[in-house]
Each structure stands twice: as C-alpha cells, then as structure tokens.
Structure 1
Amino acid sequence: MLNPQWLRSFSTLAELGNFTRTAERLDLTQAAVSQHVQRLEAQLGPLLIRRPRQIELTPAGRALLDYCTDVGAADARLHRRLSDNDPTRGEISLITPGSIGLALYPHLLDLQQRHPGLSIRHRFAPDHDVLTAVLDNHFELGLVTLKPDDPRLTVTRFAEEPLELIAPAGVPARTWTDLDALGFINHPDGHAMASRLLTRRFPGAPGIRTLRCTGFTNQIALIPEPVALGLGFTVLPRYARQAFARPEAIQVIAGEPTVVDTLWLIHRAEWPLSARAQHAADELRSRIQAAGDNAPDPRARPAAATPGRPSAADTKRKN
C-alpha cells in the first residue's frame, strides 16, 4: 500500500504545479515534498516531467492522480459511515418481510426527501434471510414475524399485523360455501396463512387445501390483483392489503377470532445503533402506530362462523 503522506504530497503538487507552494500548504519543506515524489517514482516509474516553471504529469502520473481521487473519496465514505452523531446523514439499511416493507417504504422515501443526506437501502426478504443479513452485518435493521432468541440480537416489539380474509368487492364471501365457489388465490405463505385464519373462523370446514386454487403469484404487491378481478379470495397480512392501489375493488371479510402477528425489530446487540438508524426506527414505529392500523376497515364485512350457515349478524337482522 502506498504511503498516504506521499500521496497527499503528490496530489497537492499536481493541483498547485509548484513544489514551493505545495510545501507551504502542507507545512513541509520543499525537500520533503521532493523526497515523497521520488519515493513514489521509485515504485511506479516517472510521474512528472519537471520544467523550470511548471510540471507535467506523465500517463503514470495521471493514473496515480486518479488513484488519489479514489482514495480520498473512499476515505470520505469511511468517515461518513463511522460518524454516528448525525441522524440526517449516512446510510439507513433495513431488511423486512414483504407486507410491512410495502407499508414502510413510502415513509423511508419521505424521510430521505426531508433529509437528502440520507441514503436508503431497503430489501424485501423472508424471516430467515432477515436474520442472516442482520447477523452478518449486511443490514443494520431488520423486521421479523417470529421473535428470535439469539443473544447476538437486540429484539424489540415494533408493530402488530392481523391476517385478513380478502375477497372481491360486492361478491358474497361469508360462508365456506362462498369461499369454495370463489376459489383461492395462493402465494408462498398462502396455505399457512389461510390455515391459521380459516380454521379458527370456520372450525367445521374441511380445510384450505380442499378448496380449488384459482391462481398463484410470489409478488406480494400483486396478490390482491386477481382478487380485485373476481378470480378468487386470499388471506394476507393487513399491510399488504393496505398497500394495494385499488382498495375499492376488494373487501375485507371481518370475523372472530382474529389472528394477529407481532413484528419484531432486530439489530446487533454488541454495538449501539447509529443515530440515523435509531431515528429512522423511532419515526417508522410512530408512523405505523399513528396510521391506525388496528382500526376497523370501512370496507370490512362480517364472515360466518360456521360453514354454509348465516353469521350471527345475519340472524340478528332477520329477527
């Protein structure tokens, strides 16, 4: 590795074009500047063409000057990354499951718009990949749906997210017979989520795998699209449904009991969060809470508790 002091002398000399002025700026003797350049030339070959009143860089000298620029930029990046005191500058790295990621990403962009010194790096990933990425220091912050017990992690409650039964707007979806007629729009976690919710809502039903599958996608933002087109129903976390661009085309079928997952914020326990990561985590948590994510959805419709039979609300209306 080349001596940083030699590189500083060379880059300053290239800027000023004069040994005397270079020595004055760096608070060195002219002999010291000449010696630094000579030592570089001993390793790299001729770097300068010396003339009485000016110097000219050789091709090797220009290559070294480019190298000095790269080293300076890398040094600045390193200092920015190591500077934890400014919550409005530096990189915020966050890795999350898809549903909560859809809800948080607009807030991350808003945070960056208000603080242009921030750089946002956000990735969507399942729980296992989130844990690995945070433990391997590839991301400073992560969100998971299953609380980890790894002592290398600090784990705090971030938010709660119910599972929702989602059907096309205006289409009956109150009984197991209705759901069977609609068909199921599946996704990578579809059967697991649907089983957790529907076995509680419809305890006498034969199970989600007995329903015909009318579609599948692994893109969480696109899962509500076939539902909106009337091609089937699905079960999704609330934040995924709230991110859908055409809420008027779908309905949430309310019912009891509910299934609610806790989202856990994780980061490495051995060192403190950077000021920018802590600020972002606090702001994102408050925004999610302020959004009223636990409030009833205005499009929600009650579901029947027993397959093929009217709900309690229907019975009460008839009486």
Structure 2
Amino acid sequence: MYNPQWLRSFATVAVLGGFTRAANKLGLTQAAVSQHVRHLEEQLGPLLIRRPRQIELTPAGTALMAFIQDMERAERRLKATLSEEVSDQGEVSLITPGSVGLALYPVLLDFQQNHLGLSIRHRFAPDSEVLHAVLEKHYELGLVTLKPDDPRVSASAFTEEVLELVVPAGSSAKSWIDLQRLGFIDHPDGRAMATRLLSRRFPGNPGIGSLPVHGFTNQVALILEPVSRGLGFTVIPRHARESFAQPASIKTVACGDPVVDTLWLIHRSEWPLSGAAQWLVERLRGVPRFRRGRAG
C-alpha cells in the first residue's frame, strides 16, 4: 500500500502542474512534496517529465493518477454506503422474486436515472435464496412471500401479490372442460398457485394434475408468451401479468374472492439500513402499484 501523503502530493502536483503550487496548496515545503514524489518514483519508475514551467505525466504517472482517482471514488462510495443518513447517494442491493421483480425493475431504473449518485444491484431469486442472500449479507434488502421467523431478520409488510387466472384473448374458462381444452402452461410455482386459485373458481375440481400440460418455463418474463399465442392458460401473480408487453393478447378470468399473498421486505435486524437503502424503501412504498390493498 502506498503512503497516502505521497499519493496526495503527487496528485496535487499533477492537477496544479507544479511543485511550488502543490506545496502551497498542501501547506508543505516544496522539498517535502518533491521527496514524496521521489519515493513513489523509486517504486514505480518515472512518473513526471519536468520541464521549465511545465509538468507532464509519463504513462506510469497517468496510470497512477487513474489509480488515485479510483481510490477516491471507492472511498466516496464506501462512506455513502455506510452512512445512516437518508440519502440518494450510494449502493443498494436488492433481491426479489421474479414476478414483483418485473414490476420493480423499471421503477429502479427510473430512480437511478433521476438520482445519478444512486447505484442499485437487483437480482431475481426464489424465497429460499432471497432469505439466504440476506442472512449471508450478500444483499442488504430482500422480498419474500413467507414471513421469516428467524430472529436475525427484520420483516415488514411491503405489498400484496394477487394470483390471477390468465387465458388467451378470446378464450373462455367457464368450466373445467375449458381448461382441459386449453391446457396448462406450467412454471416452478405454477401447480401450487393453480391449486390455490382454481379451488375458488372450480370447487371440487379433479386437481391440476388432471389437466394436460402444454408448456413449461422457469423464466417469469416468458410465462405469458405461450398463453398469448393460444397454447394454454396459466396462473401467475398480478405483477407479472401487468408487466407483460402484449396485454391485448391475453385476458384474466375472475375467480371469486382473490388469493392474496403478502410480500415481506426483509433485512438483517442486527444493524440499521444504510442511508441509501432507507431512501429507496421510502420511495418504493410511495409507488402506487406497490401500495397494499390492491387485491380487488
């Protein structure tokens, strides 16, 4: 590791273009500044070309200057991340299920566009992976559908996720026979979601296992693509349906009382959220589509 004072002296000489000006800026003697630069050159080779009234960086000097600037940016990021003062500056890491993630992602991009000091790292993952990532400190924030009972985790209700029966536009789903005709487009949570919702729409039905499966995908953004092409129906959360790019090619079917899951915002309970994470959570709770009570 290079002596911070040596680096500061070199960077000041490079920016101001002279040893005298750098010494005056730093409150040091010119001899001290020259000595600092000389120490660095003993380790890295020539850094400056010294001409009367002019200082020019060598390739090694240019590389060292870039290194110093990277260090300064990293230090600013670290201070912003560790600060508990609510701020739109710093990095926030967030891991969520794919369905709500589809709805969150464009909102997160909007925040970053309007707050250039904000950096958001976002990943899609199932509940178990979300909880593990937060517990292992890989992500500061997470969203899960089941409230954890682990004392290391703080959980608060964030939004609601409503399950929907989605069929191709122009199709009918008035009976179980209609569903058999359409076929099921499955996904990792498809059978569990369909079982919960279809019991409301078709009480006493013979079960999702009795329906032909016309497709499967583990990519939440692609589940409605085969539905839009008339290949079958599916059951997905509303956030995923609202994010689909071709809404005219699908339709939702009313299923009586809605099946609603609460999404829980989680983070480690042993320490407070960073200032940037607090800022992001406050803004997300104000977004209309994430407000609770939209189940109807």
Same fold (TM over 0.5): yes
Kept in 1: contact 2:160–2:290 (CA 8 A): no
How has the CA–CA distance of structure 1 residues 86 and 200 changed in structure 2, closer, same or farther, with 3 Å as cutoff?
A: closer
How far, CA to CA, are the matches of 2:264 and 2:102 in structure 1?
A: 16
Q: Equivalent pairs: percent with the same residue?
A: 64
- Contact 2:258/2:295 (<8 A) preserved: no
Give per-residue Cα distances to partners, 1:262-290, cap 9 Å, x unaligned.
11000121221123322322332232355
Counterparts in 2 of 1:1-319, with a 5 A limit? 1-50=1-50, 53-256=53-256, 258-286=258-286, 287-290=288-291, 293-295=294-296
Contact 2:84 2:272 in 1 (8 A): no
Deviation at 1:257, TM superposition (A): 5.1
Inter-CA distance 113–45: structure 2 relative to 1 (3 Å threshold): closer
Q: Distance in 1 between matches of 2:54 and 2:159?
A: 66
Q: Which amino acid aligns with 1:180?
A: Q
CA distance in 2, matches of 1:220, 1:138: 23
Q: Structure 1 residues 84-93 or 174-183, which shifts more? A: 84-93
SS at match of 2:143: strand
Q: 1:76 to 1:179 in 2, by over 3 A?
A: same
Counterpart Cα distance in 1 of 2:138 and 2:212 = 41
**Structure 2: distance between partners of 1:67 and 1:80:** 20
Give the number of equivalent residue pairs. Answer: 295
Counterpart-to-counterpart distance in 1, 2:51 and 2:227: 77
State the shift of 1:235 in Å: 0.8
Describe the shift of the 1:185–1:114 C-alpha distance in structure 2 as closer, same or farther (beyond 3 A).
Answer: same
Per the alignment, residue 305 of structure 1 pairs with none
In structure 2, distance between residues paired with 1:292 and 1:70: 46
Supply the distance in 1 between the matched residues of 2:248 and 2:55 (Cα, whole angstroms): 72
CA distance in 2, matches of 1:155, 1:290: 16
Q: Residue type of the partner of 2:37? A: V
C-alpha distance after superposition, 1:46-101 (max 9, x if no partner): 44455565555444434333332332332233233334435322233221111111
CA deviation after TM superposition for structure 1 residue 198, in Å: 2.5
Contact kept in structure 1, 2:198 and 2:255, CA below 8 Å: no
Taking the aligned partners of 2:253 and 2:70, their CA distance within structure 1 comes to: 58
Letter matched to residue 262 of structure 1: T
Return the letter of the residue paired with 2:235: V
Tell which structure's C-alpha radius of gyration is larger: 1
Aligned-partner residue type, residue 215 of structure 1: G
Per-residue deviation, 1:26: 0.3
Q: After alignment, is 232-241 or 114-123 more displaced?
A: 114-123
Give distance in 1, aligned partners of 2:292 and 2:83.
32
Aligned-partner Cα distance in 2 for 1:247–1:63: 52
Does 30-39 or 141-150 show the bigger shift? Answer: 30-39
Cα deviation for residue 254 of structure 1 reads 1.9
Considering only aligned residues, what root-mean-square deviation do their CA atoms show, in Å?
A: 2.4
Decide which moves more: 164-173 or 54-63. Answer: 54-63
SS across alignment from 1:87: coil
**In structure 2, how many angstroms separate the alpha carbons of the residues matched to 1:72 and 1:105?**
30
1:195 CA drift (Å): 2.1
Q: What SS is found at the alignment partner of 1:180?
A: helix
Distance 2:285 2:16 in 1: 52
Shift of the 89–58 alpha-carbon distance from structure 1 to 2, 3 Å rule, reads closer
TM superposition shift of 1:158:
1.0
Unaligned ranges ≥5, structure 1: 296-319
TM-score w.r.t. length of structure 2: 0.88
Between the aligned partners of 1:203 and 1:9, the Cα distance in structure 2 is 78
* Distance of 1:49 and 1:112 partners within structure 2: 41
Aligned amino acid, residue 42 of structure 2: A
How has the CA–CA distance of structure 1 residues 79 and 128 changed in structure 2, closer, same or farther, with 3 Å as cutoff? Answer: same
Question: What is the CA–CA distance in structure 1 between the aligned matches of 2:241 and 2:252, rounded to whole Å?
Answer: 9
TM-score (norm 1): 0.82
